Amino acid sequence: RLYGSLGATGKGHGTDTAIMLGLCGLMPDSIDPDTIESRIRQIRDDASLLLNGERRMVFKERSDILFLRNETLPFHANGARFMAFASDGEQIEERCYFSVGGGFVVSQEEADRSVDQPKLVVDPTRLEHPFSSGDELLAITVRTGLSIAQVMRRNEYAWRTDAELDASLDQIWDAMKACVARGCRTEGHLPGGLRVKRRAAELYRTLSTRPEDALKDQLTILDFVNVYAMAVNEENAAGGRVVTAPTNGAAGIVPAVMHYYDRFCAGASMAGIRDFLLTAGAIGLLYKENASISGAEVGCQGEVGVACSMAAAGLAAVMGGTPQQVENAAEIGMEHNLGLTCDPVGGRVQIPCIERNAMGSVKALNAARMALRGDGTHFVSLDQVIKTMRDTGRDMMTKYKETSRGGLAVNVIEC
């Protein structure tokens, strides 16, 4: 049973597909995306699935996955209750989980323990340079002389070695590149009733076969950035493999800006790619801990807005920015996304989500460039804009928070 935002937009977001594949024991980082459609078709045709890939059980999608769009569980708007029944129909197990944004899942037991606390209990692991705000992070860089990426790297040593960390970062970058490449070669229409045409492949082909156009118009680089972002989000809309950054609906912005750095910036390197990810991760942590990265909680400002902020910070860092300039870039990236609603047409992550990622990517480039042209001093701090985003999301009407009951979702008719 899917509740709240999951119940309202879960079908358009592919939640039903994810549940069926998950019950089969398949993992998002290892499944071949090209086999997803046939696997789901087989489950539907057989009215059964192999639980964890081992035991066959009856599974009738229409009655076994219920979208309860008008019911919400207390802890979070994204709630899911799983129930297991014996062959005689007797319920033998029940578990409740909440998807709190960015791939993070909280059980009912964890939620119950946090009722009297302002936020969930954090990992107690001792870090070399712990921080919980932008001001604290900047103070660490001033005290130690480390960059934001270096602070993150030192903290990661609590769990992994340098080599292990680099391998993990490289794996993330490889997944991003594979996603962009697949999106840039796949044509056709996206699944669902909207019949949205994939555009990234055609646009990429046009740009690649007419390099002389770049000589006439220097802003052609932005066309490539648009393509990279659209390629990722078309893959996401089609159920392909994406890197959650910080969410799937906003997964195109960080890789698009990283591709810009990798392909158009002099001196780009793997070391820079890793620093980009570490810096972006530091900014994402601040939003996750002090506000939200869930569209169901704060609207799209918590998804595309946060991704824009993360990407702007990452780019500013690898372009030689000081920690103060990096923090400024992150603040600019969010400030001009405040109040952004989440109102996907038909509950699908297609309109306006795909183009919105392209716009967010270009905005991140501009935020980084504006910050780098300054000296790092600015009027609004990152901590202030994070608090403002949180407060704005709290005040935002529910119909604008991933329910498809307001905005474009009701003014554009799904045909």
Give residue limits of the domains in the chain: 2-113, 134-411
Q: Where are the alpha helices (DSSP H) in 252-374?
A: 253-264, 270-290, 295-298, 304-318, 323-335, 353-372
Q: Identify the pLDDT of residue 415.
A: 57
Q: Is 242 exposed, middle or buried (0-12, 13-18, 19+ CB in 10 A)?
A: buried
pTM comes to: 0.88
Q: Nearest-CA neighbor of 264 among 317, 217, 222?
A: 222
Q: Identify the pLDDT of residue 111.
A: 86
Domain 2-113 maps to which CATH number in 3.40.50.300, 3.40.50.720, 3.30.1330.90, 1.20.140.10?
A: 3.30.1330.90
* Strand partners for 189: 197
Question: How many angstroms from the chain centroid is the CA of residue 288?
Answer: 12
Q: Nearest-CA neighbor of 176 among 241, 269, 110?
A: 241
Query: Strand, helix or coil at 342?
Result: strand
Query: Strand, helix or coil at 113?
Result: helix
Cα-Cα-Cα-Cα torsion 117, 110, 121, 394, nearest 10 degrees, comes to -50
CA distances for 240 relative to 44, 253, 297, 322, angstroms: 20, 16, 25, 36
Distance separating alpha carbons of residues 217 and 193, to the nearest angstrom: 37
Structure tokens at 125: 């692991």
Distance separating alpha carbons of residues 349 and 14, to the nearest angstrom: 9
Distance separating alpha carbons of residues 53 and 24, to the nearest angstrom: 5
Tokens 């990265």 correspond to 293
Q: Is 186 exposed, middle or buried (0-12, 13-18, 19+ CB in 10 A)?
A: middle
List the chain pLDDT tens, one digit each, 415 residues. 999 888 988 888 889 999 999 999 999 989 998 899 999 999 999 999 999 999 999 999 999 999 998 899 988 888 999 999 998 999 999 999 998 877 889 999 888 886 655 555 667 899 999 999 999 999 999 999 999 999 999 999 999 999 999 999 999 999 999 999 999 999 999 998 899 999 999 999 999 988 777 668 889 999 999 999 999 999 999 999 999 999 999 999 999 999 999 999 999 999 999 999 999 999 999 999 999 999 999 999 999 999 999 999 999 999 999 999 999 999 999 999 999 999 999 999 999 999 999 999 999 999 999 999 999 999 999 999 999 999 999 999 999 999 889 999 999 876 5
